[in-house]
Amino acid sequence: MVKRWVLAAVVAGAAVLLALQAVPCGRAHFNPPVRKEPAWDSPQTRALVARACFDCHSNETTWPWYASVAPMSWLIQRDVEEGRRALNYSEWDRSQKEGAESAKSVPKGEMPPWYYTAVQWKAWLSPAEREALIRGLTATLGSGDGGRERGSRD
């Protein structure tokens, strides 16, 4: 009796996941051209930001295979669109309201989000890397003291 129930649940779950693939949402995976980046304080800062932040906060997103499988595709697409809208390191020629705040979000544990580092291990930072990222973001973008973003390259 229990085996039939489990089998029915597995088959029903697989059918639902298969049906979700027909929804055309979350598959607009494209990277607009890089227009302008901040004037990074060092190559190390840029490398750390690229590793931990670029997938959601740049036009250089690396789309994993599961970004084409619903319902993960919906979540990833939403996160990238929201991330690029809030802060985009590839479009430093436009106002970046969250630019200077980015140095504050890392020590608070807000960025990168835990669920992102759980599936993208490359974004996991050691304590020393996290401190270097915070120092580099502060040096490049400012301290989040309300001033306009700094470090834009002409």
HSE-CB for 132 with a 13 A CA cutoff: 16
pLDDT(19) > 70: no
Give 143 or 46, the one with higher predicted confidence: 46
Does residue 34 lie in a domain region? yes
* Three-class secondary structure of residue 106 per DSSP: coil
pLDDT(21) > 60: yes
Range scoring the smallest mean pLDDT among 13-22, 33-42, 50-59, 129-138: 13-22
How far apart, in whole angstroms, are the C-alpha atoms of residue 142 and residue 114?
Answer: 25
Q: Which domain holds residue 37?
A: 2-141
Does residue 148 lie in a domain region? no
Does residue 121 lie in a domain region? yes
How far apart, in whole angstroms, are the C-alpha atoms of residue 47 and residue 49?
Answer: 6
Does residue 144 contact residue 97 with C-beta atoms inside 8 Å?
Answer: no
State residue 128's pLDDT score: 95
In the chain, which ranges are continuous DSSP H helix? 2-20, 43-52, 54-57, 72-86, 102-105, 114-119, 127-141
| Residues 38-76 pLDDT 10s | 999 999 999 999 999 999 999 999 988 888 888 888 888
Does residue 99 lie in a domain region? yes
Closest C-alpha among 74, 104, 65, 66 to residue 87: 104
State residue 144's pLDDT score: 52
The share of the chain scoring above pLDDT 90, in percent, equals 40
State residue 88's pLDDT score: 95
Amino acid at position 144, single letter: G
Tally of structural domains, the chain: 1
pLDDT(14) > 50: yes
Distance between alpha carbon 42 and the CA centroid of its chain, in Å? 21
Taking residues 8-22, report their average pLDDT.
68
Residue corresponding to tokens 């490398």: 47
Amino acid at position 18, single letter: L
Q: Hey, which of 19-33, 34-48, 87-101 has the most confident mean pLDDT?
A: 34-48
State residue 151's pLDDT score: 45
